[in-house]
């Protein structure tokens, strides 16, 4: 049977000192190696290079200011539109949801940063127990009080927690850019819906005027039929014109009500609370818009900025996935008191403490770590393709809006000329019809041409205003990356 022989005190102290010195140097060397290793874990993010063209294909108005302002809708000089957009900014449900998503992302960033700080906990335990006394068959009853403070900390040697925090921070930035994108979309939707309501009101007014004119012509033809000047066929043809114009009114009223309902949703109101009873397309200003250089567009599109932040987050996730292959080092410590009586609980002799450290190295997890690493790399490639598409789509949006602005402006000018000629021809036809120099068929043709030209003019004006809103939206609505407070 082996006996336990204690070391002499002096030998024990010397050996203990050597062990502490060796352990200290070993920990220092290990820590240095781990820190050096951490420097090479994460791939450094490089912004993708998507070359922008030197200039826009479609030329813009050289007299207009470069880039719109953040309150671009005020350029239309419509107090009603200003009021509607103000309501949308405060009550739109999509915008409220986007703001809530920003708060969610901020909370996730706070959660991701928690592992970089020590965790502290306070616990307390009080027990009263009965236990048998060895040897005499009796028992004892005793108390035990044990308040403790526990601290734990995971050393982030390999940068896993820092990478997760970086990813969460990038996602929080992306959520802010998404909120701006939603706001810009809502503002453009309000402006477009309002302009559409004005267009339909104008078209209804044109239809009512045309109906009144056609009805007046019909009365005259009926009188002439009674006098034997006009035929029943002439009257029947004019009755057809009146019926056609009259039939065009209900669909316009339906579209007007639907556009007002859509406007109500955008401003967060019920349908009966929204109506457009005044104004027309001719009361609006026609602002001139000129974009800057194409290369500047990427810093003015919140949707592009959001995709890039998602790309940055994916890059950080790759670093975190790499760090998951390496050991995790945990430090724990607790201290407190333990005593069988409250009276002696806070005495120095009742103090208890412990300090510990642990290392965990993943060895086999069924391919989960490799799968996770492959997943984040594939997600990065997906987002990289999405970023490239977002950039070229942004450039295409501006080109589309520029050509639409130019061509719809030209369309309005030509349609105004056509409507003016049609009104002039209709007046001549009326005069000559009463003079008996032309037949009723000629009058009917000029009448139909006038109705069509005036209705087409109203639609052309709306298309031009719509193209201006699209251009403002394509240019980012005056937003810039530095406008965000991250």
Give dist(CA 224, CA 440) in Å, integer.
Answer: 11
367: pLDDT strictly greater than 60: yes
Per-residue pLDDT at 483:
55
Residue 25 pLDDT > 50, yes or no? Answer: no
Q: How far apart are CA 477 and CA 67, in angstroms?
A: 8
Task: Provide DSSP, 354-422.
Answer: EEEEEEE-----TTHHHHHHHHHHHHHHHHHHHHHHHHHHHHHHHHHHHHHHHHHHHHHHHHHHHHHHH
What is the rounded average pLDDT of the residues 211-237? 85
CA distance 159 to 378: 21
Residue 24 scores a pLDDT above 70: no
pLDDT for 249 beyond 50: yes
The fraction of the chain above a pLDDT of 70, given in percent, is: 89
The string of DSSP letters for 107-172 reads: HHHHHHHGGGS-EEEEEEEEEEEEEEPTTTS-EEEEEEEEEEEEEEEEE-TTSHHHHHHHHHHHHH
pTM: 0.81
Take residue 287 and report the two structure tokens written for it.
């602002």
- Let me know: does 307 contact 383? Beta carbons within 8 Å: yes
Q: Average the pLDDT over 121-148 and give the result.
A: 83
pLDDT of 184 reads 96
Q: Which CATH architecture has domain 43-117+158-327+367-483?
A: Up-down Bundle (1.20)
| pLDDT higher than threshold 50 for residue 391 | yes
Residue-wise pLDDT for 442-485, tens only, equals: 777 888 889 899 999 999 999 999 999 999 999 999 898 875 54
User: Dihedral sign, CA of 14, 19, 24, 26?
Assistant: positive
The span from the first CA to the last CA of the chain, in angstroms, equals: 72
For CA atoms 162, 164, 166, 168, the dihedral sign is negative
Torsion of CA 90, 91, 92, 93, to 10 degrees: 120
What rounded mean pLDDT belongs to the chain? 85
Out of 17-31, 60-74, 227-241, 398-412, the most confident range is 398-412
Domain residue spans of the chain: 43-117+158-327+367-483
Interior angle at CA 197, CA 194 and CA 201, nearest 5: 140
Maximum Cα interatomic distance, the chain, rounded to a whole number of Å: 145
Residue 4's pLDDT is 33
Higher-confidence position of 434 and 316 = 316
Closest CA to 447 of 234, 200, 132, 288: 234
Query: Which of 81 and 52 is assigned the larger pLDDT?
Result: 81
The pair of structure tokens assigned to 366 is 């069924």
Give the model's pLDDT for residue 442: 79
The pLDDT tens digits for 261-313 are 999 999 999 998 888 888 899 999 989 888 888 889 989 999 999 999 999 99
Burial of 277 (0-12, 13-18, 19+ CB in 10 A): exposed
pLDDT at 39: 47
In the structure, what pLDDT confidence band is assigned to residue 126 with cuts at 50, 70 and 90? confident
Residue with tokens 């003079």: 435
pLDDT in tens, 44-80: 888 898 888 888 888 776 666 678 889 999 999 999 9
Kindly tell me the number of DSSP H helices and DSSP E strands found in the chain: 9, 4
- pLDDT at residue number 28: 39
Q: Is the pLDDT of residue 177 over 50?
A: yes
Cα→Cα distances 329→30, 32, 178, 304, 313, Å:
12, 14, 38, 39, 25
Rounded to an integer, what distance in angstroms lies between the CA atom of residue 57 and that of residue 45?
32
Residues 457 and 408: their CA atoms lie apart, in Å, by: 11
Helix (H, G, I), strand (E, B) or coil at 59: coil
Summarize the confidence of residues 336-350 as an average pLDDT.
Answer: 79
Pairing mode, if any, of strands 351-360 and 139-155?
unpaired
Pick from 157, 170, 154: nearest CA to 40: 157
Given strand 139-155, what is the order of strands in its sheet? 119-132, 139-155, 328-337, 351-360
């Amino acid at each position: 049977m082996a006996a336990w022989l204690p070391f002499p005190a002096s030998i024990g102290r010397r050996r203990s000192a050597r062990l502490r010195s060796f352990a200290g140097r070993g920990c220092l060397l290990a820590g240095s190696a781990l820190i050096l290793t951490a420097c090479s874990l994460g791939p450094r993010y490089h912004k993708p290079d998507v070359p922008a063209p030197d200039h826009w294909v479609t030329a813009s108005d050289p007299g207009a200011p470069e880039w719109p302002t953040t309150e671009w809708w005020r350029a239309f000089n419509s107090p009603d539109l200003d009021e509607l957009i103000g309501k949308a900014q405060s009550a739109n449900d999509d915008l409220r949801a986007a703001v809530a998503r920003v708060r969610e992302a901020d909370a996730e960033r706070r959660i991701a940063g928690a592992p970089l700080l020590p965790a502290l906990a306070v616990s307390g335990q009080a027990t009263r127990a009965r236990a048998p006394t060895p040897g005499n068959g009796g028992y004892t009853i005793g108390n035990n009080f044990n308040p403790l403070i526990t601290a734990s900390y995971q050393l982030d040697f390999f940068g896993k927690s820092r990478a997760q925090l970086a990813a969460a921070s990038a996602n929080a930035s992306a959520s802010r850019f998404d909120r701006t994108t939603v706001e810009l979309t809502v503002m453009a939707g309000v402006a477009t819906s309002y302009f559409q309501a004005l267009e339909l009101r104008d078209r209804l007014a044109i239809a009512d005027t045309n109906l009144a004119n056609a009805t007046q012509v019909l009365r005259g033809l009926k009188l002439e039929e009674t006098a034997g000047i006009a035929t029943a066929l002439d009257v029947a043809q004019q009755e057809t014109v009146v019926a056609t114009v009259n039939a065009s009114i209900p669909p316009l009223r339906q579209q007007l009500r639907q556009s007002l309902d859509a406007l109500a949703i955008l401003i967060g109101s019920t349908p009966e609370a929204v109506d457009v009873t005044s104004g027309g397309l001719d009361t609006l200003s026609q602002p001139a818009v000129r974009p800057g250089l194409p290369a500047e567009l990427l810093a003015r599109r919140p949707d592009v900025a959001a995709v890039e932040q998602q790309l940055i987050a994916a890059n950080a996730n790759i670093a975190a996935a790499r760090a998951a292959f390496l050991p995790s080092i945990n430090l724990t410590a607790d201290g407190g008191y333990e005593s069988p009586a409250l009276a002696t609980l806070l005495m120095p002799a009742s103090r208890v403490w412990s300090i510990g450290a642990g290392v965990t190295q993943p060895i086999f997890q069924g391919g989960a770590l490799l799968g996770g690493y492959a997943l984040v790399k594939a997600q990065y490639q997906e987002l990289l393709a999405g970023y490239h598409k977002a950039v070229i789509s942004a450039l295409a949006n501006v080109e589309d809006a520029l050509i639409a602005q130019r061509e719809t402006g030209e369309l309005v000018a030509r349609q105004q000329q056509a409507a003016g000629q049609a009104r002039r021809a209709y007046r001549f036809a009326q005069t000559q019809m009463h003079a008996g120099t032309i037949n009723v068929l000629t009058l009917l043709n000029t009448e139909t041409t006038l109705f069509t030209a005036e209705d087409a003019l109203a639609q052309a004006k709306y298309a031009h205003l719509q193209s201006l809103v699209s251009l403002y939206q394509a240019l980012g609505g005056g937003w810039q990356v530095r406008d965000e407070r991250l």
